[in-house]
Amino acid sequence: MKRIKTIAVSLLLPALLMTGCSFESIAEKGAGLLDKLFSEDNLASIPSVSIPATDTDPASEPDPPAPAVPVSEEPDIASDGPAVPDVSVQFPAEPVQTTAPSTPAAPPEPDAAAAAETVTPSHTDVTFFSAGESFRYLPKGVSGTYACTYSVDDDKIASVDSNTGTVKAVAPGTTKVKMHVESNGQYDFECIVRCNWKKDDKTAQPSDTNKTDKPANTQKDDEPVLPPASANNSTATPAVTASHSDATFFNPKEHFKLVPTGAGAGCPSTYSSSDSTVAAVGQDGTVTAVGPGTATITMTVDCGGSDYTLECIVRCKWEKTE
């Protein structure tokens, strides 16, 4: 009964507090209501309910668990504060990158064509016929920037300009000019230089005009050189040689004149070419370059019953065009 009264008070107390009455007035009213509620007349009208007995004291039973209150993930807002509007801010979405991110460009690799370039020398075998003749020794097939260095085995025969690559004839003999090229690689080349003239050849070593002990040379360069008269004025024929024995051309239509040396004026010459598509020869002894290759020019000299057959190798060195 006491427990029932306690429950009744807990139910009536909030209602009485809302009336605004004082605590003393609420206590008096509450006591009166409880007396009426639990009077004998009211209790007699309540039907009896049989509660099965249990071994456990109801007073010792734990209170039922309080209902779970859902916890909001939103922060608590004071009930007496102003309502906070639900404001959603939308930020522009970042563009979706559909391609792979650009990477810094790698340093350019050497051009495969440049790396596989074919470098060749402009000359491999050159023949000079007088002092002071020259040509430029250069690399062919190079591209872009390149550097060349030069050297010569014997600078008393031929010289080379280290800045321009100009090779110049100096004195009779044979030597080699070397060229080192740096262009997408390193290359070394050699060129044979032949200086084919006699040391006393007036066409190669001009006579000193200040000297008066020798008569002036009135012969033309392309005329045969007459042998000096002997002490007894004999007309014996000395040895006869060719003015050229080895010649190299680098362009079509280049030419020189092949004449006998040491033969008299009455010694006619006839000429022939082993390959006229490479080098042609006229009956006056003019040899002309025609096409790339090597040919042999044969000169036959008839000196009054003594015949001399002389040969000159002619090399035509340039690239054949279609």
Listed range (55-64, 124-133, 183-192, 299-308) with the worst mean pLDDT: 55-64
Please compute the mean of the pLDDT values over residues 246-264 and round it to a whole number: 88
Integer angstrom CA distances of residue 29 from 16, 18, 38, 42: 9, 13, 14, 18
257-310 per-position pLDDT tens digit: 998 888 877 888 999 999 999 999 999 999 999 999 999 999 999 887 788 899
pLDDT of residue 196: 83
pLDDT at 158 over 60: yes
Confidence band for 60, pLDDT divided at 50, 70 and 90? low
Q: Which amino acid is at 312?
A: C
8 Å CB contact between 252 and 289: yes
Asked if the model's pLDDT at residue 167 lies above 90, the reply is yes
DSSP state of 23: H
pLDDT at 190 over 50: yes
pLDDT at 163 over 80: yes
Q: Which of 158, 239, 153 is nearest to 197 (CA)?
A: 158
Tens of pLDDT along 98-115? 566 566 666 655 555 444
pLDDT at 75 over 60: no
What is the reported pLDDT for 300?
Answer: 92
Is pLDDT at 197 greater than 50 in this prediction? yes
* pLDDT of 127 higher than 90: no
Categorize the per-residue pLDDT at 232 as very low, low, confident or very high, splitting at 50, 70 and 90. Answer: very low
The mean-pLDDT minimum among 172-181, 189-198, 202-211 falls in 202-211
Q: Which of 59-63, 184-188, 248-252 has the lowest mean pLDDT?
A: 59-63
pLDDT band of 223, cuts 50, 70, 90: very low
- Res 254 pLDDT > 70: yes
Q: What is the pTM of this model?
A: 0.36
Q: Which pair of tokens denotes residue 102?
A: 């650009």
Residue 70's pLDDT band, with cuts at 50, 70 and 90, is: low
H, E, C per residue of 148-160: EEEEECCCCCEEE
Angle at 162 between CA 158 and CA 167, to 5 degrees: 30
pLDDT at 95 over 50: yes
Average pLDDT over the chain, rounded to an integer: 74
- For 301, phi then psi, to 5°, come to -110, 125
Alpha-carbon gap, residue 207 to 196, rounded angstroms? 18
pLDDT at residue 211 greater than cutoff 50:
no
Burial level of 123, CB count in 10 A (0-12/13-18/19+)?
buried
| Residue that is written with structure tokens 């000193």 in the block | 208
> What is the amino acid identity at position 258?
L
Structure tokens, 116: 């596989």
Higher pLDDT, 16 or 311: 311
Percent of the chain with pLDDT over 70: 52
pLDDT over threshold 80, residue 32: no
pLDDT value of position 264: 75
